[in-house]
Amino acid sequence: MLAVVCPGQGSQTPGMLQPWLELPGAGASPSPADLLAAFSDAAGIDLVAHGTTSDADTIRDTAVAQPLIVASSLVALRAVLDGRDAAEVVDVTAGHSVGELAAAAVAGVLDDAGAVGLVTRRAQAMAEAAAAEPSGMSAVVGGDADEVAAAIELLGLWPANVNAAGQTVAAGSLDKLALLAENPPARARVIPLQVAGAFHTPYMEPARKVFEPVARAWKAADPRLPLLSNADGAPYSSLSLGEHGHGTAVDVLARLAAQVTAPVRWDRCSDTLAEMGVTAIIELAPGGVLSGLAKRALKGVELVAIKSPDDIEAARDLVARHSAVNLGDAARQNGA
């Protein structure tokens, strides 16, 4: 069983789109250059320039980073699929924070350009909220989970991301994050993150108020394959079946809006992937972080993190060997 996962903010690096722009189109598939031109139009910003020549400080800006990451993920997806529909080969998808918008495109809720356009609106709202009041995020690595949670709560901070056992991201005011770093929980390290604000906390309430009506009115379709929610790790079908049995567009858009202020429970997404019996995971570009978490949380699962076009063939091999949808179609064609 094959999962496709989509990375979140912080995974971007300078020049990451350059090797993709050198790839030609294949068959009926548009070239990465054509896709990125369309994505730049949807975003209203030059994603090609930001993905090739902009420096680290420029692409750290939330308003740039989020559409850049989603665009990169979707370019990689189309290269791996090579003209095939994701619903033909992907058994389940999920995305971390902003990556959930890319995952919504994998599931067919949003078209690719629509996902980039919507995430740009999200990014702009979150950047404005972050600029209004200084705040930040710090990774808390190691320690006892209950003690880490207690320390975060005691200081009036929030667990913005619960990524895995032994990795929680605390968020809130900069002075309280400094106190956490000065007095970390036992056997834990506190690592400040280079982000603009306390995402997935009440600090983002102004952004949620701006983004929610935009998201709810966005053009969308019901998911065509299982899509996991950051809120609790459950597939959207747990809310309502929808046209394809995988939840409804209305529910997805509502949760994408609520996600701006709600914690990201990637640990629960990992638990669901394990419960579903996932045997392989492709992490779309700019891959690496989620694959690292999966190595510890999902022992024995084959992983391919797409960092450049050099990883496309390995990803396609994973599709051929692990896609339950793909293998089921082959078995039916062979009369099995």
Active-site positions read 97, 200
* Structure token digits, residue 250: 């209305």
- Cross-strand pairs, 94: 5
Residue 60, token pair as written in the block: 């750290």
Q: What amino acid is encoded at 58 in this protein?
A: T
**Cα-Cα-Cα-Cα dihedral of 201, 207, 213, 219, to 10°?**
-90
Check whether the bond before 286 is cis (ω within 30° of 0). yes
**85 neighbors 4 (Cβ within 8 angstroms):** no
Burial class (CB in 10 A: 0-12, 13-18, 19+), 175: exposed
Distance from C-alpha of 95 to C-alpha of 84, rounded to nearest angstrom: 21
Cα–Cα dist 297/229, whole Å: 18
